[in-house]
């Protein structure tokens, strides 16, 4: 009961959006800022300030590489996964464009990948956007069937940020490698949560972010495979940092923070995943008995911390308003900048109503059982309250098929 | 998104939630919006022999602004004549609740709903007098 008393509201259940930095991470970062700390520029070769910072950067590089079983020389620092995606996709497309100008990706990718592909289309590249199956996964045969002689690049995410499904990047990688096609993976949502063994995966380029795994915002990395060697054209030009692939003075405190976050993840991942999975299952067990509730995304191939649920006949933004004691996100149009319902849920075949009615719960390192139990009760009460307000729920209860109604569109 | 106190009050304590008998000749029903767009509003009015709205009820599927707009509207139309009620403008609702610009369509929907309810009531009346 002591713990229940300590429960702080609102409860943070949006770990897929970002995570708080681990206090061990923040401590290490703070030591790289001031005159008393290691504030030097790692590119300064002429004095100890630079040498010390360079050392810290290399140590962080080792930690990042260790989590994903890569060589530290294969890690390029960036400002985050969005920049990594841009650098990987534009960089590879530009470098290999004499070989061909066809790129394959998937409709449920993050906007950092989709919008980068759109830009390449404007530059004259041809992009195929694959439809995933209803469970959110990509059918390998479908990918194979859209591959062409001029296909140079495939970009598929590891774990989806909205519905949490895990793609089979081992199989996709093998297929790409057999065709001599570069394979890029956005791993922003999977590093530290799903085992990644790049020494044994046919992945050429992989994007990472620090703030999704208890590191700071504003820092990420791109894995660029050395054997066989993958080439990319730089997108940021300047002092030739990061072996010319990404210029700009290294943000030592950010890098040290990311290194520490990845080190902790490697050490604690197995235990943490087990804890998170118990909580996720507890949440779903608590919600799934409700009427007209739908789980989005394949539950077998699913990252532990994600639960995406549609509460039919309740609109997502109003539900989020009612759930102000918990911090979650929704696929509802009203909560998005674009005023469109979730394109991910639509791509897996959910209709607009279910997309509008979806809530993403994401659980993490600091979530407790008490918080999950509180959430279950709160969601049940508020969904019931909003359904009492919902004309659609009333019609459903009266046995009216909503698809047969002539709606006055506006 | 930050909402006004008035809006939050109508959202958290919605007035006049419920349904009236759709078949009753003195009841007009307006249902506007579409589930695919993320909002559906059902507004019902009960009109007395003197042409004054005696009661109003609503149910709304939609965001907080849509729920608050319809709740406010039911308060406003009660005691008004049909003519007075039909003169309520969406801008009055948007002003009262301080709707952010992206939510103004919620107040438009509410205006459409009361107009649809009045039309429904009138067509019922004319059908009855014709019979």
What pLDDT sits at residue B102?
86
Nearest to A408 among B32, B60, B63 (CB): B32
For residue A352, give the chain B residue with the closest CA: B36
Which residue intervals of A130-240 are DSSP H helices? 140-146, 169-179
DSSP state of A139: P
A410:B59 CB<8 A: no
Contact yes or no for A318 and B11 at CB 8 A: yes
Alpha helices (runs of H) in B38-103, residue ranges in sequence order: 64-77, 82-86, 90-97
SS3 A85: helix
Nearest to B61 among A313, A333, A410 (CB): A313
Q: How far apart are CA A26 and CA A360, in angstroms?
A: 27
Residues of B labelled catalytic? 37, 106
In the A/B pair of chains, how many CB contacts fall below 8 A?
A: 83
Question: Rounded CA gap, A66 and A258, in Å?
Answer: 13
Cβ–Cβ below 8 Å for A391 and B59: yes
B60–A353 CB contact, under 8 Å: no
Name the A residues in 98-117 with CB < 8 Å from any B CB: none
From the first residue on, what is the mean pLDDT of each consecutive set of 10 residues in chain A (410 residues)?
Answer: 69 97 98 96 97 98 98 98 98 98 98 97 98 97 98 98 97 98 98 97 98 98 96 95 96 98 98 97 97 94 97 93 94 67 92 91 97 98 96 94 77
The answer to whether B30 faces chain A, any CB pair under 8 Å, is: no
> Is the pLDDT assigned to residue B95 strictly greater than 50?
yes
- What is the reported pLDDT for A165? 97
Q: How far is A197 from chain B (nearest CA, A)?
A: 41
All residues of chain A having their beta carbon less than 8 Å from the beta carbon of residue B66 are 315, 318
Element of type H or E holding A127: strand A126-130
Q: What is the pLDDT of residue A364?
A: 97
B96: number of Cβ within 10 Å:
18
For residue B66, give the 3-state DSSP assignment: helix
Measure CA A390 to chain center: 33
Contacts of residue B11 in chain A, CB cutoff 8 Å? 318, 321
**CB nearest to A390's CB, from B11, B61, B112:** B61
Q: Which residues of B touch A356 (CB under 8 A)?
A: 35, 38
Task: Let me know if A334 is a catalytic residue.
Answer: yes
CA A330 to chain B, closest CA, distance in angstroms equals 12
A362: helix, strand or coil: strand
* Pair A279, A373: CB distance under 8 Å: no
pLDDT of residue A340: 76
Report pLDDT for A1.
Answer: 45
Estimate to the nearest angstrom the gap between the alpha carbon of A166 and the chain centroid: 11
CB A236 within 8 A of CB A247: yes
Interface residue of B17, B40, B90 to substitute, partner A, most A CBs within 10 Å: B40
CB-based contact (8 Å) between B64 and chain A?
yes
Residue of A nearest to B1 (CA): A335
Identity of the residue in A339, A389, A407 whose CB atom sits nearest the CB atom of B35: A407
Among the partner residues A351, A392, A408, nearest to B61 by beta-carbon distance:
A392
Catalytic hit among A32, A117, A176, A334:
A334
Nearest CA distance, A187 vs chain B (angstrom):
30
CB atoms within 10 A of CB A177: 16
Cα dihedral A291, A297, A300, A305 sign = negative
Q: Is A20 exposed, middle or buried, given 0-12, 13-18 or 19+ CB atoms closer than 10 A? A: middle
Residue B22 in contact with partner chain A when CB distance is under 8 A: no
Cβ separation B33–A408 shorter than 8 A: yes
């Amino acid at each position: 009961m002591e713990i229940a008393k300590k429960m702080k509201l609102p409860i943070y259940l949006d770990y897929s959006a970002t995570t708080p930095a681990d206090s061990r991470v923040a401590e290490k970062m703070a030591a790289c800022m001031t005159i008393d700390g290691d504030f030097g520029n790692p590119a300064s070769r002429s004095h100890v300030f630079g040498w010390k910072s360079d050392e810290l950067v290399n140590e962080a590089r080792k930690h990042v590489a260790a989590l994903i079983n890569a060589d530290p020389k294969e890690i390029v620092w960036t400002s985050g996964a969005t920049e990594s995606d841009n650098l990987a996709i534009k960089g590879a497309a530009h470098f290999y464009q004499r070989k061909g100008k066809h790129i394959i990706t998937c409709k449920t990718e993050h906007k950092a990948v989709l919008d980068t592909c759109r830009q390449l289309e404007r530059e004259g590249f041809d992009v195929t956007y694959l439809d995933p199956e209803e469970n959110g996964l990509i059918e390998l045969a479908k990918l194979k069937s859209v591959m062409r002689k001029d296909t140079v690049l495939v970009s598929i995410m590891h774990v989806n940020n909205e519905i949490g499904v895990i793609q089979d990047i081992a199989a996709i990688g093998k297929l790409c490698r057999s065709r001599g096609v570069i394979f890029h993976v956005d791993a922003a949502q999977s590093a530290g949560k799903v085992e990644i063994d790049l020494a044994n995966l046919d992945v050429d380029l992989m994007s990472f972010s620090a703030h999704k795994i208890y590191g700071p915002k504003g820092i990420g990395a791109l894995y660029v495979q050395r054997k066989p060697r993958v080439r990319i054209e730089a997108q940021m030009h300047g002092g030739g940092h990061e072996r010319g692939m990404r210029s700009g003075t290294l943000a030592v405190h950010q890098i040290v923070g990311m290194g520490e976050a990845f080190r902790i993840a490697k050490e604690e991942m197995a235990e943490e995943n087990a804890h998170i999975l118990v909580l996720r299952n507890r949440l779903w067990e608590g919600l799934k008995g409700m009427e007209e509730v739908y789980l989005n995304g394949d539950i077998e191939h699913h990252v532990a911390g994600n639960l995406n649920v549609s509460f039919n006949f309740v609109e997502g933004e109003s539900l989020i308003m009612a759930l102000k004691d918990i911090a979650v996100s929704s696929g509802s149009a009203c909560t998005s900048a674009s005023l469109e319902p979730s394109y991910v849920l639509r791509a897996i075949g959910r209709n607009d109503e279910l997309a509008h009615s979806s809530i993403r719960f994401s659980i993490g390192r600091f979530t407790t059982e008490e918080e999950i139990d509180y959430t279950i009760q709160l969601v049940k009460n508020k969904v019931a309250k909003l359904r009492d307000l919902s004309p659609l729920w009333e019609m459903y209860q009266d046995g009216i098929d909503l698809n047969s109604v002539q709606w006055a569109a506006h | 998104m930050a909402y006004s106190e008035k809006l939050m009050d109508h959202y958290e304590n919605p007035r006049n939630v419920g349904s009236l008998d759709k078949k009753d000749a003195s009841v007009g029903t307006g249902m506007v919006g579409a589930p695919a767009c993320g909002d559906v509003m059902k507004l019902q009015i009960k009109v007395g022999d003197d042409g004054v709205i005696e009661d109003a009820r609503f149910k709304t599927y939609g965001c907080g602004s849509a729920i608050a707009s319809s709740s406010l509207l039911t308060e406003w139309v009660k005691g008004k004549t049909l003519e007075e009620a039909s003169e309520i403008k969406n801008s009055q609702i948007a002003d009262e609740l301080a709707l952010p610009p992206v939510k103004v369509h919620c107040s438009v929907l509410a205006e459409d709903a009361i107009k649809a309810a009045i039309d429904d009531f009138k067509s019922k009346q004319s059908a009855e007098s014709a019979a």
